Amino acid sequence: MLRLFGATLAVAFSAFFYGSPVLAKPDKTECIIGAKPGGGFDLTCRLLGGALQSTNLIDKPMSYTYMEGGVGATAYNHIIGTRPGDPGAIVAVSTGSALLLAQKKFGAHDENAVRWVGSLGAEFGSVIVSPDSPYKSLKDLIEGIKAKPEDFSVAGGGAVGSQDWMKAALIFKAAGQDPKKMRYIALEGGGPVVTNVLGGHVKIGSSDIAEFLPHHKSGKVRVLAVMSPERLTGDAKTIPTAKEQGYDILWTVWRGLYVGPKVSDADYKWWVDIVEKVSKTPEFAKEQEARGLYPFAVYGPAFSDYVKADVARFKILAQDAGLIK
């Protein structure tokens, strides 16, 4: 009898402190998308909801709520101010959101205001030139920028301070140049970037490898480097990383999730466990690849640490570029 009581107490103790996927499971789940339909946040939520349903890890289909504004700022402030303890609500987030948090563009709330759940995958930054460019490697390009920075204009998707601007800024910093003096052309997405590089309007294009890879394969552009920690697989396996070429230039475009700050430990643990569990299924791997994402498995406290380290790094980059004080 004493042994049975002790075992029961141990289960209760574990559930109280660490949460239980069964006991903490919410009645319904909702993924909040901080943008219009069709973007990266939408992709993140649909990837999660579809995989959870196809693997029968939730009883009812996940619902989706669009909450456009400030690259996730509206959704961030909504979950903190209106639904901080909602156990069924999870919100899509990305590197872009962390970049804006670093630039203090999410209002009064910082990166410590929510509970970070995990990542569903990642893309990586890359840099292109035209196929007839004399620059055959990242080293060639950086040496060219060192010698005559005023000759190098850059096109990217997004304004000054955006991810594409930051990727280009890292290249100029590697060349010993001031990113604030970079001639940057802000465009709407990777397609126009490719068009401007091909048209000779700019010498360099900055975006994610998924945007450039089809054009690289067809020979329309030359990808000089991918900003990943190691070589990518698949069609990108022949493209060297910046790191391989001697430059510590990394840009991981992770796609992840968070919940409100007052979500209980048990509910938070349920979300972390369920995201990790679904991420390891064949169904998820297939959907991840179909959406152009590479594996990037970081969950729970480790993901929280990763996001906060990114925000700290981005603050330094933004200060160096004169974007914040």
Residue 44: Cβ within 10 Å count: 26
> How high is the pLDDT of residue 255?
95
In this structure, is residue 81 part of a structural domain?
yes
Residues 283 and 227 in one domain: no
pLDDT grade for 10, boundaries at 50, 70 and 90:
very low
User: From start to end of 136-293, where are the E strands?
Assistant: 153-157, 183-187, 204-208, 222-226, 252-259
> How high is the pLDDT of residue 141?
97
Instruction: Sort 138 into a burial class: Cβ within 10 Å, 0-12 / 13-18 / 19+.
Output: buried
In this structure, is residue 2 part of a structural domain?
no
Residues 129 and 119 in one domain: no
From 201, 236, 271, give the residue that closes a domain.
236
Average pLDDT of the segment spanning 260-274: 97
> How high is the pLDDT of residue 139?
97
Q: Which domain holds residue 203?
A: 124-236
List C-alpha distances in Å: 212 to 159, 217, 227, 276.
19, 9, 13, 30
In this structure, is residue 13 part of a structural domain?
no
In this structure, is residue 8 part of a structural domain?
no
pLDDT grade for 211, boundaries at 50, 70 and 90:
confident
User: Cα-flanking dihedrals φ and ψ of residue 225, to 5°?
Assistant: -165, 150
Cβ-based neighbours of 28, under 8 Å, separated by 6 or more: 60, 63, 88
pTM of the model as a whole: 0.84
Q: How many domains does the chain have?
A: 2
Could you tell me the CATH number of the domain that includes residue 131? 3.40.190.10
Residue 146's SS3 state is helix
In this structure, is residue 247 part of a structural domain?
no
Task: List pLDDT tens digits, range 61-89.
Answer: 999 999 998 889 999 999 999 999 999 99
Residues 130 and 226 in one domain: yes
Q: Does residue 315 surpass a pLDDT of 50?
A: yes
In this structure, is residue 10 part of a structural domain?
no
> How high is the pLDDT of residue 28?
94
Average pLDDT of the segment spanning 87-94: 97
From 236, 263, 286, give the residue that closes a domain.
236
Q: Does residue 5 surpass a pLDDT of 80?
A: no
126 within 8 A of 223, measured Cβ to Cβ: yes
pLDDT grade for 133, boundaries at 50, 70 and 90:
very high
Residues 67 and 78 in one domain: yes
Q: What is the 3-state secondary structure (H, E, C) of 154-187?
A: EEEECCCCCHHHHHHHHHHHHCCCCHHHCEEEEE
Q: How far is the C-alpha of 93 from the C-alpha of 34, rounded, in Å?
A: 8
> How high is the pLDDT of residue 296?
93
Residues 203 and 106 in one domain: no
Residues 194 and 149 in one domain: yes
In this structure, is residue 214 part of a structural domain?
yes
From 211, 236, 261, give the residue that closes a domain.
236
Q: How far is the C-alpha of 45 from the C-alpha of 295, rounded, in Å?
A: 16
Q: What percent of the chain has pLDDT over 70?
A: 93
List C-alpha distances in Å: 317 to 111, 256, 302.
17, 22, 23
> How high is the pLDDT of residue 158?
83
Could you tell me the CATH number of the domain that includes residue 265? 3.40.190.150
Residues 303 and 202 in one domain: no
Kindly state the tokens that stand for 174.
Answer: 């590697």
Q: Does residue 11 surpass a pLDDT of 90?
A: no
Average pLDDT of the segment spanning 146-164: 92
